[in-house]
Amino acid sequence: MRKSREAMAQHHRNIVEGGARLLRERGIEGLSVADLMQAAGLTHGGFYRHFASKDAFVCEATDAAFAGVAAMRGAAAPDQGPDAQLLAFLGYYLSQAHCDDPGMGCPIAAFGGEAARASAEIRERFAVGVEGVLDWISARLGGTAEQRRSGAAEMLAVMVGAVVAARAVGAGDLADGLLGAARRRGAEIARAGANLPH
């Protein structure tokens, strides 16, 4: 019995982790239960032993996708101070490598537009993830709480907008220009925030 519970828990993790990648690659509407279960090496019928609905799965996969962003942030200059961490995260986020791999990237840029039209439960989970990103950026800026929050919101908006636009136009000079402009603006926001008292 214990082994079957462990196997069930492992299958659940595999579905969520693989599904979080597929969700970022294909979006909510582009992800079928059959494809999701095939990617996990399981049968289609087993899905409902793990999730009450597709929305319930999307909620868990959204959490996993935002956990991936947290890991990405944690890997950005981990032994450096907050300013260097922020600039390293900004540099990776606004790179062609991030644009080329939406499945391992930020869910805001990957399926934020679809999340806006999703169920209230999915939108709530998505909002929690966005808040986490804003809190992390804000903690690395100076100024009052209001100034930090405003700077974080501006930086995140610039980052997400640039990645969405760069992915839409494909790799090339236009994408490079969009990403470069966003990196410069993000660095300006970071420098302005660093010059304010913490």
Domains by residue range for the chain, with CATH:
52-194 (1.10.357.10)
Q: What mean pLDDT is reported for the chain?
A: 92
Predicted local confidence at residue 78, as pLDDT: 82
Q: At what angle do helices 107-115 and 120-138 cross, to 10 degrees?
A: 150
120, 191 Cβ separation under 8 angstroms: no
1 pLDDT above the threshold of 70 = no
Calpha distance 138→124 (Å, rounded): 21
Smallest Cα–Cα separation from 136: which of 186, 195, 74?
74
Residues found in the chain: 198
Which single residue is written with the structure tokens 């991936």?
68
**Over the stretch 91-131, which tens digit does the pLDDT of each residue have?**
999 999 999 999 999 999 999 999 999 999 999 999 999 99
